[in-house]
Structure 1
Amino acid sequence: MLAVKKVLNNNVVIATHPDHEEVVLIGKGLGFGRSPGDEIAGSQAEKFFVLRNETEREQYKQLLTYIDEEFVGLMEEEISRLEVTFSSSLNEHIHVGLTDHLYFAVKRIQDGHGITNPFLKETELAYPKEYQAAAAMAERVGNKLDVRLPEGEIGFITLHIHSALTNRDLSAVNRHTQLVSELVRRIETFLGFELDRRDVNYLRLVRHLHHAIERVETETYTENQDPLLNVLQTEYPLCYNLSWKLMKVMQQRLNKHVPDAEAVYLTLHIQRISGAQSNSIR
């Protein structure tokens, strides 16, 4: 048996645990009619989680001092739903990071402030499943709190979800998204036209850039493409030169070596977009 420490809402309870100090229990109607000190069986919960990291545990306790308990409970329900949706456990930092972020986002919206997200489309294209889950969450939370969460906010929620799913630091996920956006802008400047965000070639380019950055970061390089390098340099010299400039930017931002083979893939993507634009003008 555990002892109730705090009731967040009808479905979420914080309880003391003999081995883990504090646990969060989640289950339909679990908190209804309960008060601090009441005994509760852990088996009654549909799900419970433990913040094992001491820093995360302290940050979570701080959340409870300035965030409405009903809101914390709502977020725990949403995070539990995410784990069901993805059939995966999430990095425990999401209990602190996403709750804190979304609480202040809602406050800004209620105070009449807008939310802008210059990396929205790149985020949606890079992480479509996370984006879909974030959109559904934004709608449920918005309905519950009687606010409308704008599309830009869905992009930020997406990054939190992706970070928790992949155990990657949120700041690194943000940096990678911003780098992709910078590379796209450089391609647009070079080609002299704005890329169509709805075009399948743009989708392929953005996803490739994200995967390329991840490969460079993890040093899981692709196979050697030297024979193709010479062919592409001759056939598409402008796109080939641009690909090397983009690789230099990646290398500077990531502070890691970018393999020569990347020039092949970038050249092909850029040439495909450039060719499609030329055909549409004719």
Structure 2
Amino acid sequence: MRIKKIFNNNVVLTENDNQVEIVVMGRGLAFQKKVGEEIDGSKVEKTFVIHSKNLSDKLSELLKEIPSDHLELSNDIIELAKRELDCHLNETIYLSLTDHIHFMLTRMQEGLTVRNPLLWEIKKFYKDEYQVANHAVQMIEKRTGIQLPDDEKASIALHLFNARKGSSGMEQTMKMTKIVNGITQIVKYHFGRAFDEESTNYNRFTTHLRYFAYRMIRGEVSDGDSDNSLFEQVSRQYSDAYQCTMKVQSYLKVNYSFEMSKEEMVYFIIHIHRLYSREKTE
């Protein structure tokens, strides 16, 4: 591989035979090297293949400003997430998470702690991502010696969820979290009881809510109506869940100018009834 751009002695940009750009890392990899020269393959420790040209350009700009060990930390966390979540992550995570880790460590060294207002919600609704983020923070603390607050676990978890679902950005992910939290609070106060947040029933319900909010923000929620007879049937049969669903409908309309179709309302009525009835029985 020939050097296309040198970021520092340890990080260079190369290109393979298919003209795909690859960021390559290794101690002293670019020492006394120039653009166009071959790199010593025995010194290569890590490689980052970026298929998007636009993303590659942005990552190249970022690498001019940050230490190579921040990129290495980010990559190790991404690999950890892929294993533990058993999923594909959007390539944008290499840019967003690397930038976040650099900014986070810079802030912490300057004594600036930023609170994450969604910490509680993220711990509750994105348990898998938060668990990975917890391991990631342990990794960062071990390598840097910098102690991080739980707020940073929540921020990393949001980056992972954002890349895992392929949504449009962090702002939308946070909006989705607020929607889910708002709906669960409505259900809680409507029935006047706290649900077991560790139960299978509750996890099943919040999973439905997360995907609903995800589709809602992306404009993918069904705008069609189900069979009116089915809607009328579940409304009568599960009247309490129906009343709760109407409160959810009002909340979404007032706060997000969104109106659920009858098809979505049917699903909500059934899910809410199942949650309440099973939790009540247990």
TM range (shorter): 0.7 to 0.9
Larger mean Cα displacement after TM superposition, 220-229 or 184-193? 220-229
State the Cα deviation string for residues 192-237 of structure 1 (Å, max 9, x = none).
Answer: 4444433443322211111223344324689946445334433443
CA distance in 2 between partners of 1:47 and 1:80 (Å)? 12
Residue in structure 2 matched with residue 197 of structure 1 by the alignment: 197
| Partner SS for 1:25 | strand
Deviation at 1:156, TM superposition (A): 2.0
Q: Does 1:39 align with 2:38?
A: yes
Deviation at 1:144, TM superposition (A): 0.8
Please show how residues 1-282 of structure 1 align to structure 2 within 5 Å.
1-3=1-3, 5-7=6-8, 9=10, 13-17=11-15, 23-26=22-25, 30-32=26-28, 34-35=30-31, 36-37=33-34, 39-40=38-39, 47-50=47-50, 52-54=52-54, 56-83=55-82, 90-124=89-123, 126-170=125-169, 171-216=171-216, 217-219=219-221, 224=226, 226-250=228-252, 258-275=260-277
Kept in 1, the 8 Å contact 2:119–2:151? The answer is yes
Change (3 A) 1:225 1:131: farther
CA distance in 1 between partners of 2:260 and 2:221 (Å)? 9
Deviation at 1:158, TM superposition (A): 1.9
Same amino acid, percent of matched pairs: 23
- One-letter amino acid of the counterpart of residue 17, structure 1: E
CA distance in 1 between partners of 2:280 and 2:162 (Å)? 38
Residue segments in structure 1 that go unaligned for 5+ positions in a row: none
- One-letter amino acid of the counterpart of residue 137, structure 1: A
Change (3 A) 1:257 1:20: farther
- One-letter amino acid of the counterpart of residue 68, structure 1: P
Kept in 1, the 8 Å contact 2:7–2:63? The answer is no
Kept in 2, the 8 Å contact 1:221–1:259? The answer is yes
| Partner SS for 1:218 | coil
CA distance in 2 between partners of 1:191 and 1:40 (Å)? 66
Kept in 2, the 8 Å contact 1:180–1:206? The answer is yes
Change (3 A) 1:215 1:76: closer
Larger mean Cα displacement after TM superposition, 157-166 or 251-260? 251-260
Larger mean Cα displacement after TM superposition, 36-45 or 255-264? 36-45
Deviation at 1:23, TM superposition (A): 3.0
- Count of matched residue positions in the alignment of Structure 1 and Structure 2: 273
CA distance in 1 between partners of 2:127 and 2:247 (Å)? 28
| Partner SS for 2:89 | coil
Aligned-pair RMSD on alpha carbons?
3.7
- One-letter amino acid of the counterpart of residue 71, structure 1: H
Change (3 A) 1:46 1:161: same
Change (3 A) 1:166 1:76: same
CA distance in 1 between partners of 2:23 and 2:255 (Å)? 40
Residue segments in structure 2 that go unaligned for 5+ positions in a row: none
TM score, norm. by length of structure 1? 0.75
Larger mean Cα displacement after TM superposition, 177-186 or 232-241? 232-241
| Partner SS for 1:258 | coil
CA distance in 1 between partners of 2:9 and 2:162 (Å)? 26
CA distance in 1 between partners of 2:190 and 2:78 (Å)? 42
